[in-house]
């Protein structure tokens, strides 16, 4: 992977960035995504935000190597603290982290979202946390993709401002992913169900405490919910 040829995962994220957007890529360790977006003429300008010095340095180097210092600003900052009002950011990408970490980044500096019309979020795990955040904060799912690369499964969630209604299954699994029911989706959730069943087996062999019974019942509920969706 490099700034010309992204991974399938980041290429999917890039495909949802509107042409002409001013993008902030948060957690931009190598700045490949913003460099690609500017090279392709998709993003007009970009900010690459990175909280750790080593990855920040490699993002700075990459932007220099690509000759894009006029169009991409790299900032060493925690989450959306990388975004300044004068940047005029209209779209934010956050990829390659867990859903709860992405949510904590969105919640920590809400003022940075003021002029943002699109969020493209790629959680490695627990996408549910992002759907819950979106429901509570006036964002609606515009699109969702599930994909597999190098044996790992990734989800990409595209949010626009608006409201939506999601039931419990849709919040967990994704309303659009449930409708499409791709082979990757069915495989991911079948594996999850098998894991939960193994946990239930272990609980059955353990001491029957209130806590264990509650966990067993919760898993029974989740298994039924997911089996109903992938059947
Ligand atoms: N976004 C790239 C991608 O998808 O390939 C890099 C993903 S890498 C696994 C996660 C990066 O996010 C790391 O470089 C990490 O230092 C950075 N990161 C984690 N928490 C962050 C935060 N609060 N603010 C900015 N960057 C953060």
One digit per residue, pLDDT tens: the chain, 231 residues? 777 789 999 999 999 999 999 999 999 999 999 999 999 999 999 999 999 999 999 999 999 999 999 999 999 999 999 999 999 999 999 999 999 999 999 999 999 999 999 999 999 999 999 999 999 999 999 999 999 999 999 999 999 999 999 999 999 999 999 999 999 999 999 999 999 999 999 999 999 999 999 999 999 999 999 999 999
Compute, in angstroms, the gap from residue 220 CA to the centroid of ligand 1. 35
Q: Is 113 exposed, middle or buried (0-12, 13-18, 19+ CB in 10 A)?
A: middle
Question: So what's the pLDDT on residue 8?
Answer: 97
Q: Residues 43, 148: one domain? A: yes
Q: Residues 148, 38: one domain? A: yes
Question: So what's the pLDDT on residue 1?
Answer: 74
Question: So what's the pLDDT on residue 156?
Answer: 98
User: Long-range contacts: 150-153, Cβ < 8 Å, 24+?
Assistant: 152/124, 153/184, 153/187, 153/188
Question: So what's the pLDDT on residue 37?
Answer: 98
Residue 62 lies in a domain: yes
Q: Residues 104, 217: one domain? A: no
Q: Measure CA 38 to chain center.
A: 21
Q: Residues 157, 219: one domain? A: no
Question: So what's the pLDDT on residue 3?
Answer: 75
Question: So what's the pLDDT on residue 228?
Answer: 95
CATH code: domain of residue 120: 3.40.50.150
Q: What percent of the chain has pLDDT over 90?
A: 97
The parent domain of residue 197 ranges over 184-230
Residue 169 lies in a domain: no
The protein residue with its alpha carbon nearest to ligand 1, atom 18, reads 27
Question: So what's the pLDDT on residue 5?
Answer: 87
Q: Residues 22, 129: one domain? A: yes
52-110 residue pLDDT tens: 999 999 999 999 999 999 999 999 999 999 999 999 999 999 999 999 999 999 999 99
Q: Residues 188, 123: one domain? A: no
Compute, in angstroms, the gap from residue 11 CA to the centroid of ligand 1. 17
Residue 174 lies in a domain: no
Angstrom distance (rounded) from CA 46 to CA 106: 18
Q: Residues 146, 216: one domain? A: no
Residue 39 lies in a domain: yes
Q: Residues 22, 135: one domain? A: yes
Residue 79 lies in a domain: yes
Lateral strand order in the sheet of 91-97: 72-76, 43-50, 21-26, 91-97, 118-123, 152-161, 139-149
Question: So what's the pLDDT on residue 159?
Answer: 98
Residue 170 lies in a domain: no
Residue 13 alpha carbon, nearest atom of ligand 1: 4
| 3-state helix/strand/coil string of 140-205 | EEEEEEEEEECCEEEEEEEEEECCCCCCHHHHHHCHHHHHHCCHHHHHHHHHHHHHHHHHHHHHHC
Residue 2 lies in a domain: no
| Ligand 1 pocket, CB under 6 A | 10, 26-29, 49-52, 55, 78-79, 95-97, 105
Q: Which of 65, 16, 70, 11 is nearest to 36 (CA)?
A: 11
Q: Residues 134, 222: one domain? A: no
Q: Residues 101, 201: one domain? A: no
How many domains would you assign to the chain? 2
Q: Residues 123, 67: one domain? A: yes
Q: Residues 71, 148: one domain? A: yes
Residue 178 lies in a domain: no
End residue of a domain, out of 164, 194, 221: 164
Residue 108 alpha carbon, nearest atom of ligand 1: 23
């Amino acid at each position: 992977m490099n700034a010309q040829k992204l991974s399938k995962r980041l290429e999917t994220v890039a495909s949802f960035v509107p042409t002409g957007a001013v993008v902030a890529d948060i957690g931009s360790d190598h700045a490949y995504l913003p460099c690609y977006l500017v090279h392709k003429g998709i993003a007009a300008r970009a900010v690459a935000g990175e909280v750790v010095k080593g990855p920040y340095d490699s993002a700075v180097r990459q932007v220099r190597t690509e000759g894009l210092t006029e169009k991409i600003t790299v900032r060493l900052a925690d989450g959306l603290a990388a975004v300044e009002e004068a940047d005029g950011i209209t779209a934010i990408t956050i990829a390659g982290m867990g859903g709860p970490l992405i949510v904590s980044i969105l919640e920590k500096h809400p003022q940075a979202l003021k002029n943002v019309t699109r969020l493209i979020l790629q959680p490695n795990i627990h996408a549910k946390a992002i759907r819950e955040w979106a429901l509570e904060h006036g964002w609606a799912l515009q699109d969702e993709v599930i994909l597999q690369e190098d044996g790992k499964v990734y989800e990409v969630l595209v949010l626009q401002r608006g409201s939506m209604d999601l039931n419990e299954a849709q919040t967990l699994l994704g309303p659009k992913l449930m409708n499409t029911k791709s082979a990757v989706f069915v495989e991911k959730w079948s594996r999850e169900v098998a894991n939960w069943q193994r946990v239930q087996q272990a609980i059955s062999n353990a001491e029957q405490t209130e806590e264990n019974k509650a966990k067993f019942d919760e898993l029974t509920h989740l298994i039924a919910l997911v089996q109903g969706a992938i059947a």
